[in-house]
Amino acid sequence: MHTTRPDLIVLHEHPEWQKPLFAALERRGVSFRPFDVTRAAFSNADTPAARLYFNQASPSAYVRGHTRAVPFALAYMRTLELLGVPVLNGADVFELELSKSAQATLLRTLDIDCPRSITFNEAGALRAYARQLRWPAVLKPDQGGSGARIQVVDSIEQIEAIFAADPSVWLPDNLFLLQEYLPHDPEQGIVRLEFLGGELLYAMRVKTHGRFNLCPSPVCNPDGHEGACDVNGPTAALPVEFYPYPDVPAAAVETARRIVGAARLDVGGIEYLETADGRRVFYDINANSNLRPSIGEAFGFDPFERVVDFLVSRLARCRHHPGAQAPGWQGATTEHS
């Protein structure tokens, strides 16, 4: 049990992803504690353990054997928020990240070009939309994360065969999307814009070489060679390539900023691509930014230092939160800083 009260607690389930952030916090002397949501407990009688919480849990936790991390993180953040404790990328933001169907609807309500999507929980139900379907199409889970289980399909029959062959594909939430396939120039790739506190941190182009795992963390996709990713694993294919994009169009940045504001995203990334017929299509909202140091270096800064700047500024705003004066906290976790 910890005996000192930190200023900040970082909720996470992937310690390797968090090492650069933790190192930056330590360099700056920020009092913080990691909270591993894969093995944890809390009580409704607990008092807050810190003035500020920062959610870094990932929707793809289940592919690492951490299926229970996501519902725990949501329940814990709901509890903290009911107690009036500020949580960055809190429960509502995390729930939006967990649902590609909710993201698709949000983008449409904002009148932003996004892929046409059909959400379903039984493959045969897609036949009701047979006249609207265009092939090929993209099959993806509602709760995705790092490109897990996304594939291109050519028919309803193929989709039915996928689920019949392996019903576990439905996990963890038994909900999938069939989404418009968007041809684009592979040499241009897709664009990912990282935001911090509502402002653009940087933009990068990502050449995927046919992959769907675009996680910018060097743990999954190192520069110039293969990584050991829990989603796709090492393959013989070309590695995903990341390039700084200083000339990202101002209109694209403004659209992404609107999405960030509507999603109430504190820290995260927005992705779009430019189709062969000239559309700029936004398709993904990421509340979990595993920032890429090589891209930050190209722009002249350490992105994790910028995140710490943001966290320090938010700590200053909640310095006098009543939870900071509360008595001892009884929540349990197996990880110690």
* 184-301, CATH topology level: D-amino Acid Aminotransferase; Chain A, domain 1 (3.30.470)
CA distance 215 to 228: 12
CATH number for the domain formed by residue range(s) 8-96+310-333: 3.40.50.20
What's the token pair of residue 115?
A: 């892929």
In the prediction, which pLDDT does 332 show?
47
User: Is the CA virtual torsion 130, 135, 141, 142 positive or negative?
Assistant: negative
Kindly report, residue by residue over 170-197, the tens digit of the pLDDT: 988 999 999 999 999 988 899 999 999 9
Q: What are the helix (H) ranges across 3-51? A: 15-27
- The tokens for 85 are 């404790």
pLDDT at 149: 80
Q: How confident is the model at residue 325 (pLDDT cuts 50, 70, 90)?
A: very low
- 35 with 77: CB under 8 angstroms? no
Q: Over 50: is that where the pLDDT of 222 sits?
A: yes
Res. 335 pLDDT band, cuts 50 70 90? very low
Q: Which of the four pLDDT bands, split at 50, 70 and 90, describes residue 329? A: very low
Q: What is the pLDDT of residue 62?
A: 83
Q: Can you count the helices (H) and strands (E) in the chain?
A: 8, 15
Question: Could you give the percent of the chain with pLDDT greater than 70?
Answer: 84
Q: Pairing relation of β-strands 241-244 and 199-207?
A: antiparallel
Q: With 50 as the cut, is the pLDDT of residue 323 above it?
A: no
pLDDT score, position 237: 61
Residues 211, 232 contacting (CB under 8 angstroms): yes
* Residue with more model confidence, 249 or 327: 249
Q: Dump the DSSP string for 267-320.
A: EEEEEEEEBTTS-EEEEEEES-----HHHHHHTTS-HHHHHHHHHHHHHHHTTT
Backbone angles phi, psi at 255, to 5 degrees: -65, -45
Q: Please compute the mean of the pLDDT values over residues 92-118 and round it to a whole number.
A: 97
The confidence band for 240, taking pLDDT boundaries of 50, 70 and 90, is confident
> Residue 225: CA atoms inside 13 Å, Cβ hemisphere, count?
1
The domain defined by 117-180 folds into Dna Ligase; domain 1 (3.30.1490)
What is the H or E stretch that residue 294 is in?
A: helix 293-298
In the predicted model, what is the mean pLDDT of residues 264-293? 93
What is the radius of gyration, based on Cα positions, of the chain? Answer: 20
Confidence of residue 229 (pLDDT cuts 50, 70, 90): low
pLDDT tens digits, residue range 131-151? 999 999 999 999 976 567 889
Fold match flag (8-96+310-333 vs 184-301)? no
- Is pLDDT above 50 for 293? yes
Which pLDDT belongs to residue 289?
79
The residue count of the chain comes to 337
Q: Identify the residue with better confidence: 235 or 252.
A: 252
pLDDT in tens, 4-41: 889 999 999 988 889 999 999 999 999 999 999 999 99
Q: Would you kindly state where each structural domain of the chain is located, as residue ranges?
A: 8-96+310-333, 117-180, 184-301
pLDDT at 200 (0 to 100): 97
β-strand partners of 286: 269
For the chain, give the percent of residues with pLDDT over 90.
Answer: 73
